């Protein structure tokens, strides 16, 4: 899944000389949190966020007189005075997975997308990634999520898929995650039905352990009730 298939192409931008007030109004009106800053050649020179603007605003702890002075100063500020200049960017040929990992590593909520000439052609944000993965996972349709504990070896996924398909149950998606026990994997099929009793019994009959998806955790085992001392 390449970024250019899911990025926002009609990007709202500002130039370095745009006032902070104008940038703030543009963000509020369009319900966005990031504004790429471009020069006359459509080349990216920075990015300004709603957080940058909030940081430039007067503190609530100031007196009315001090706030009035701050507002006068802020009125003179331009986007170039508060924007981030060293912008993390991506290529349209990067994947959505690349963007997701980069967001986790940099703690940045959106990346401008630049072509080979360095010109802005789009932006990929958390909102875009959510829309793309919701579509891929098929979770907009009503269904049921199962959590199946399986051995980490070839053939297990096919065996699970075959067992579900034999029941004529359609898939929304299927994911695989690591499990706490060595040699095990947690398999998460999202099935487009609420009638899963028979397929659960079938999977258990094949030797699989079914876990409660709500108790599954990426980092630790589900909590077990303490034994009552005799």
pLDDT at 135: 83
| pLDDT tens digits, one per residue of 84-119 | 999 999 999 999 999 999 999 999 999 999 998 888
Q: Is residue 229 in a domain?
A: no
Q: Cβ(33)–Cβ(110) under 8 Å?
A: yes
Q: Element (H or E) spanning 178, and its range? A: strand 171-178
How far apart, in whole angstroms, are the C-alpha atoms of residue 39 and residue 18? Answer: 11
pLDDT tens-digit readout, 182-214: 888 889 999 999 999 999 999 999 999 998 887
Does 40 have pLDDT greater than 80?
yes
Q: Which structural domain, as residue segments, surrounds residue 186?
A: 144-211
Q: Domain for residue 90, yes or no?
A: yes
DSSP code of 58? Answer: P
What gap in Å lies between CA 84 and CA 109, rounded to an integer?
Answer: 13
Is residue 7 pLDDT above 70, yes or no?
yes
Are 94 and 116 found together in one domain? yes
* Per-residue pLDDT reduced to its tens digit, 166-186: 999 999 999 888 777 788 888
Percent of the chain surpassing pLDDT 70: 85
pTM of the model: 0.70
pLDDT number for residue 220: 54
Identify the DSSP state of 33: S
| Residue 11 lies inside a defined structural domain of this protein | yes
Q: What integer pLDDT is reported at residue 227 of this predicted model?
A: 36
pLDDT greater than 60 at residue 58: no
Q: Which residues 6+ apart lie within 8 Å of 121 measured at CB?
A: 4, 9, 92, 113, 114, 115
Provide the β-strand partners of residue 113.
90, 122
63 plus 164 within the same structural domain? no
188-192, 215-219, 223-227 — which is least confidently predicted? 223-227
On whether residue 123 sits in a domain, the answer given is yes
Q: Based on the domain organization, do 19 and 101 belong to the same domain?
A: yes
- pLDDT at residue number 229: 34
How many domains does the structure of the chain reveal?
Answer: 2
Q: Is 73 helix (H, G, I), strand (E, B) or coil?
A: helix
Would residue 216 count as lying in a domain?
Answer: no
pLDDT, the chain, mean: 85
Tell me, yes or no, whether 91 and 38 share the same domain.
Answer: yes
Could you tell me the two tokens for 218? 């990426």
Residues whose CB is less than 8 angstroms from the CB of residue 154 and which lie 6 or more positions away in sequence, other chains included: none
The CATH number of residue 175's host domain is: 3.30.70.260
Q: Are residues 18 and 72 in the same domain?
A: yes
Place of tokens 């398999």: 187
Q: At what angle do helices 126-137 and 96-106 cross, to 10 degrees?
A: 130
Q: Are residues 121 and 167 in the same domain?
A: no
Mean pLDDT of 33-58: 88
In this structure, the answer to whether residues 103 and 46 fall within a common structural domain is yes
What tokens appear for 147 in the block? 């959590």
């Amino acid at each position: 899944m390449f970024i250019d298939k899911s990025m926002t192409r009609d990007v709202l931008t500002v130039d370095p000389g745009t006032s902070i007030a104008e940038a703030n109004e543009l963000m509020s009106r369009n319900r966005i949190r990031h504004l790429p800053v471009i020069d006359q050649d459509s080349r990216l020179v920075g990015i300004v966020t709603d957080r940058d603007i909030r940081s430039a605003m007067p503190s609530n702890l100031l007196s009315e007189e001090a706030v009035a002075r701050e507002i006068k100063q802020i009125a003179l500020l331009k986007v170039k005075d508060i924007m981030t200049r060293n912008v993390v960017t991506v290529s349209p040929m990067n994947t959505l997975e690349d963007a997701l990992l980069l967001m986790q590593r940099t703690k940045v909520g959106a990346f401008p997308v630049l072509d080979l000439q360095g010109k802005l052609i789009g932006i990929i944000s958390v909102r875009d990634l959510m829309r793309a993965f919701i579509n891929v996972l098929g979770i907009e349709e009503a269904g049921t999520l199962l959590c199946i504990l399986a051995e980490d070896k070839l053939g297990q996924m096919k065996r699970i898929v075959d067992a579900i398909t034999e029941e004529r149950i359609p898939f929304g998606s299927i994911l695989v995650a690591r499990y706490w026990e060595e040699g095990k994997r947690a398999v998460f099929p999202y099935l487009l039905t609420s009638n899963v009793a028979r397929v659960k019994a079938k999977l258990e009959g094949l030797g699989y352990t079914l876990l409660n998806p709500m108790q599954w955790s990426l980092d630790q085992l589900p909590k077990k009730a303490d034994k009552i001392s005799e």
